[in-house]
Amino acid sequence: EKHFSEDLPLKGKKITITAGPTYEAIDPVRFIGNHSSGKMGYEIAKRAMQLGAEVTLISGPTHLNIDENKIELIRVTSTREMYEAAHSKFGDTDVFIAAAAVADYKPKMVADQKIKKNDDSLTLELTKTEDILASLGKIKSGQKLIGFALETNNEEENARKKLEKKNLDFIVLNSLNDQGAGFKGDTNKISIIYPDRKKDFQLKSKKEVAADILNEIVELLDA
């Protein structure tokens, strides 16, 4: 098998990706989570590996598998664990892609025993989780930093705010308004938003979307 350098444009590059949901414990048997399948992040990891990159995938709970001989897989459950894994890799990463659907809030107190059914209503007090991507944006020094945004209204404006606030190189806007797009299914319709421009893409499989995103990253590293 012959490989030319243009086949492996990411050879020598280190890429770290977050994928899937995070789970926040309520008690020993219950959690707050979301329906993210992790598919987008896993497809990005596979494509980056095919293009020659050294890939680390930090994954929340999913049913997906990946070839661990070719991709370093760090499994995490909570946002705190994902945050710690992300920071442990960030100093030695060229490109960081945050594809995870991170929980925004977690229970303020985690019960150490299973909560019993007593009163007619139960109130859980929640507190914000760490914003992993924003924390990396504050310390980045040469790394390319890429985020995702899932919006239902004022999509471009909201995505641009995240791009700026989190100090990203570009953000992938995922529209829930489009048929067949979303974080549960197998297809996505994205726009890639840069500080000074925007590119719109057709509805495609997540595998094809991953290829489009990696093309942008190759261009970004070449620029």
CA distance 16 to 48: 10
Q: How far is CA 53 from CA 8, 17, 86, 176, in A?
A: 8, 12, 17, 30
Q: Which does 149 bind (CB under 5 to 8 A by kind): ligand CTP, Ca ion, none?
A: ligand CTP
Residue 167 annotated as catalytic: no
To the question of whether residue 67 is assigned a binding role by annotation, the answer is no
| Min separation Cβ 102 and ligand CTP, Å | 4
Which residue of the chain is nearest Ca ion when measured via CB? 104
Angle at which helices 39-50 and 206-222 cross, to 10°:
50
Size of the site for ligand CTP (CB under 6 A): 16
Q: How far is CA 49 from CA 43, 72, 94, 209, 211, in A?
A: 10, 10, 14, 15, 11
In this structure, the number of other CB atoms found within 10 A of the CB of residue 128 comes to 10
Contact status: 193 vs ligand CTP (CB under 6 A)? no
Contact status: 40 vs ligand CTP (CB under 6 A)? no
Q: Which amino acid is at 217?
A: I
Exactly one of 94, 104, 208, 212 binds ligand CTP (CB under 6 A); that residue is: 104
- Of 52 and 216, nearer to ligand CTP (C-beta) is 216
- Of 166 and 204, nearer to Ca ion (C-beta) is 166
Backbone angles phi, psi at 90, to 5 degrees: -60, -40
Query: What residue numbers does the annotated binding site for CTP cover?
Result: 104, 114, 148, 162, 166
Q: Which residues make up the interface to Ca ion (CB under 5 A)?
A: 104
Active site residues: 34
Q: Which residues make up the interface to ligand CTP (CB under 6 A)?
A: 18, 79, 98, 100, 102, 104, 129-133, 147-150, 162
